[in-house]
């Protein structure tokens, strides 16, 4: 099977249409970590949590940082299991619990990666998220068919880039759509 024949979207970005009925996903970009006949799982990559910082999270987990220097945002990964942490990252950091999504992105959901990041030994690129977006069997496919989502192949700038406010527009442009030309109202002939 060639990549173009694969009906599943692991390693792709979902981009919410302007008429997204679920306000939790308004103008979201979601990296799909897993998509198969059993359902789908992804992480929102363009919404930071306002009430929790990386130092706060480390303190809650009794992790004493020794080597990180950059401001790391904690993202709203989605509404499912909101207290569970996930780190999307470049494949230069691996452990037994790491799942390779594709050859450019891995996912680790253990506290060990947070310790590594806090010690300056983590992956080169990473995105920390609490919670995830999940779909049951066929649910995501139905939402795509109902024009709730567009999808596009992921790239590192969209996944790991710092500019959260314009990721949705960047993803639309990558698809080939000028977001200013979209309407959230259905047209009639």
pTM: 0.89
Taking Cα atoms as reference points, which of 30, 18, 132, 39 lies closest to residue 81?
132
The tens digit of pLDDT for each residue in 14-25 reads 999 988 888 899
Residue 48 pLDDT class (50, 70, 90 cuts): very high
The tens digit of pLDDT for each residue in 119-132 reads 999 999 999 999 99
Q: Which helix (H) or strand (E) holds 165?
A: none
Q: How far apart are the first and last CA of the chain?
A: 40
Domains and CATH numbers, the chain: 3-181 (3.40.1740.10)
Between 36 and 72, name the one with better pLDDT.
36
Residue 185 pLDDT class (50, 70, 90 cuts): low
Taking Cα atoms as reference points, which of 4, 3, 121 lies closest to residue 63?
121
Residue found under tokens 């080939």:
176
Pairing of strands 74-76, 126-135: parallel
At residue 130's C-alpha, the angle toward residues 16 and 171, to 5°, is 25
Taking Cα atoms as reference points, which of 171, 181, 176, 178 lies closest to residue 44?
171
Taking Cα atoms as reference points, which of 70, 43, 34, 78 lies closest to residue 54?
70
């Amino acid at each position: 099977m060639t990549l173009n024949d694969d009906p599943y979207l692991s390693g792709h970005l979902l981009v919410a249409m302007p008429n997204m009925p679920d306000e939790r996903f308004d103008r979201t970009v979601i990296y799909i970590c897993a998509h198969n006949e059993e359902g789908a799982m992804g992480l929102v990559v363009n919404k930071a949590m306002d009430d929790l910082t990386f130092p706060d999270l480390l303190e809650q987990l009794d992790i004493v940082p020794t080597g990180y220097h950059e401001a790391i945002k904690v993202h709203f990964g989605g509404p499912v299991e909101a207290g569970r942490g996930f780190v999307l990252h470049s494949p230069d950091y691996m452990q037994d619990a790491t799942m390779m999504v594709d050859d450019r992105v891995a996912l680790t959901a253990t506290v060990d990666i947070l310790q590594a990041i806090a010690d300056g030994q983590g992956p080169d690129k990473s995105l920390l998220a609490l919670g995830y977006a999940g779909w049951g069997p066929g649910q995501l496919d139905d939402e795509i068919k109902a024009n709730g989502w567009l999808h596009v192949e992921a790239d590192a700038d969209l996944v790991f880039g710092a500019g959260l406010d314009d990721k949705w527009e960047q993803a639309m442009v990558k698809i080939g759509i000028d977001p200013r030309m979209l309407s959230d109202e259905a047209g009639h002939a």
